[in-house]
Amino acid sequence: MKARTAAIHRETRETNIELELNLDGAGNATIETGIGFLDHMLTALATHARIDLCLKCIGDLDVDDHHTVEDCAIVLGDAVASALEDKRGIRRFASAYAPLDESLARVVIDVSGRPSACVELCLRREIIGAVACENIGHFFTSFAMASKMTLHVDVLRGENDHHKAEAAFKAMALALREAIAIDGNPDRIPSTKGVL
């Protein structure tokens, strides 16, 4: 099977990002965004999706965290879409639950080629670490748009906002791992249209 990898360099006036991705990796992650909580979430995502991810971002953190969070999501989504190419052989649909202590999150994915996102994290704080809580939801939406996936993220219960956010990232990792897995015939495109 052809390697499902991608390497992207994206530079704007707001961020400079280098990313290397292997969808058939072992969960190895080297993440440097300048934002500790974002590094933690992306490491959890790579680890539990079992993808190898090297992502380095220099962003305008003197402004705030928005551009770094958004652009990392965009570049990661672009890389996943590029590595999947025509999506031949994948399962396409997947769902997963992940708990973290009292918190429970559910993620449903369709690698459909039609970007859409519904994200309900139910976060109460304004900020976790150095990430504005509004940008955590925005990460999922930006990733869905760039990867051309349909993505539903729901935190079903929880008290601690760190736990809720981390459960959501872990649930997305588990669903992504299943959705991109090769399922039976590696030449089959999982669509009645014959294209995704």
Q: What ranges do the domains of the chain cover? A: 5-179
| C-alpha dihedral, 122 to 111 to 66 to 47, nearest 10° | 80
Whole-structure pTM value = 0.97
Q: Is the pLDDT of residue 184 over 80?
A: no
First to last CA, the chain: 19
The domain covering 5-179 belongs, at the CATH homologous superfamily level, to Imidazole glycerol phosphate dehydratase; domain 1 (3.30.230.40)
Q: Are the beta carbons of 4 and 84 closer than 8 angstroms?
A: yes
Q: Is the pLDDT of residue 2 over 90?
A: no
Phi, psi dihedrals of residue 52, rounded to the nearest 5°: -90, 130
Q: Are the beta carbons of 31 and 19 closer than 8 angstroms?
A: no
Q: Are strands 93-100 and 103-110 parallel, antiparallel or unpaired?
A: antiparallel
Q: Is the pLDDT of residue 190 over 90?
A: no
Q: Is the pLDDT of residue 187 over 90?
A: no
Q: Is the pLDDT of residue 19 over 90?
A: yes
Q: What is the mean pLDDT of residues 16-36?
A: 98
Query: Average pLDDT over the chain, rounded to whole?
Result: 97
Helix (H) / strand (E) containing 21: strand 15-22
Q: What is the mean pLDDT of residues 75-87?
A: 97
Name which of 137-141, 163-167, 186-190 the model is least confident about: 186-190
CA distance 151 to 154: 10
Q: Is the pLDDT of residue 1 over 90?
A: no
Q: What is the mean pLDDT of residues 2-15?
A: 97
Q: Are the beta carbons of 108 and 171 closer than 8 angstroms?
A: no
Q: Degrees (nearest 5) of the Cα angle 134, 169, 2? A: 125
Q: Is the pLDDT of residue 193 over 90?
A: no
Burial of 16 (0-12, 13-18, 19+ CB in 10 A): middle
Q: How many CB atoms lie within 10 A of CB 127?
A: 15
Burial of 3 (0-12, 13-18, 19+ CB in 10 A): exposed
Q: Is the pLDDT of residue 162 over 80?
A: yes
Handedness of CA 156, 159, 160, 161 (dihedral sign): positive
When pLDDT is cut at 50, 70 and 90, the band that residue 194 belongs to is confident
What would the pLDDT profile of 88-146 be if each residue is shown by its tens digit? 999 999 999 999 999 999 999 999 999 999 999 999 999 999 999 999 999 999 999 99
What would the pLDDT profile of 29-55 be if each residue is shown by its tens digit? 999 999 999 999 999 999 999 999 999
Q: What is the pLDDT of residue 186?
A: 82
Residues 6 or more apart whose Cβ sits within 8 Å of residue 57: 15, 16, 17, 18, 32, 33, 34, 68, 71, 72
Unique residue bearing structure tokens 């990313």: 19
